[in-house]
Amino acid sequence: MEPRYLNTGIGIVPPTLPVEDYHIDTPLEEYDLNFCWPVKPLEGPGVRLEPLIPSIHAQALHVALLKDDPEKKWIYRYETPVLPETLSDLLTRAEQWRRRREQCVFAILDLSRPYVEDKPCGGRIAGIIGLRAESASDFAGEIGPVVVLPRAQRTHIMTNALSLLLTYCFSIHSQDGLELRRMGWIATATNAPSVAVPRRFGFTCEGVRRWRRVMPNPDKFDTKEAVGEYGRREAGRGWDWSCWALTFEDWRDGVKDLVHGFLARQVQRNAAWD
């Protein structure tokens, strides 16, 4: 007789969290970022990155997302399995990120915009950018998730936010950096803009991981369909991942100068916010 193994992990879907776990009223000083590496705000020309604090950033981010992309067609096209349709969904996602010691998400603030006293975050919220510890003990990190509001796309926001984060990750301890050995970037293989970002920053493509992720979102952009009896066609379409990496050697041998050159550029005010 075959043994009967106990396995309670099959088919578990993370539930929507109870209200008391949202941290919508938890002040910055009491909110535990729960990240495996030191975290601090990062600021440069035109952009400030602040660790995402629900009581400070969640409402501003939610309102900005609804205004810029009410149908969630572009911003959350790559979010699975559940799209954050409401503020509660967004708060749940933020708490799920927080509970992973390998994940920290930063709010992106556009400093080229005038600060408006009566608006959350001064009306400067432009998106989020995440830092993941791919392997903390090996000093290997990864960028993600990244969400840039449509009106902030094709401006200085993505370039400067990524430049600040990479500078923090590769800088040595005496320069108040994390001194990592490696940073990764994952892009949908057929998404040209997402692939262009790491290429522009000097990352090296290390290959394509085929059928790496299921995409239940019915939007067919950048996905492919499983055909035939294999591959769980009923689960939805899928992505191939293009995998890119940047090492401390790349940083030392020229990428640092490239990135600092990006940060040295003059920031233009984005008229799309008006």
pLDDT of 83 reads 53
pLDDT band at residue 224, thresholds of 50, 70 and 90?
Answer: confident
Portion of the chain with pLDDT greater than 70, in percent: 88
The mean pLDDT value for 198-220 works out to: 83
Two tokens, residue 163: 């430049």
Across residues 210-220, what is the average pLDDT? 69
Q: Is the pLDDT of residue 39 over 90?
A: yes
Burial of 24 (0-12, 13-18, 19+ CB in 10 A): middle
Give residue-wise pLDDT tens across range 71-128.
555 454 444 444 567 888 889 889 989 999 999 999 999 999 988 988 889 989 999 9
Residue 24: pLDDT over 60: yes
Backbone dihedral region of 105: left (phi > 0), alpha (psi from -120 to 50 degrees) or beta?
beta
pLDDT, tens only, 47-87: 999 999 999 999 999 888 877 665 555 454 444 444 567 88
Q: Quote the pTM value.
A: 0.88
Q: How far apart are CA 20 and CA 101, in angstroms?
A: 20
Contact 148, 157 (CB under 8 A): yes
Hey, what domains does the chain have and what are their CATH numbers?
37-267 (3.40.630.30)
Tokens at 66, concatenated:
């609804």
What is the Cα Rg of the chain in Å? 20
Give yes or no for residue 17 having a pLDDT over 90: no
For 261, residues 6+ apart whose C-beta sits below 8 A from its C-beta are none
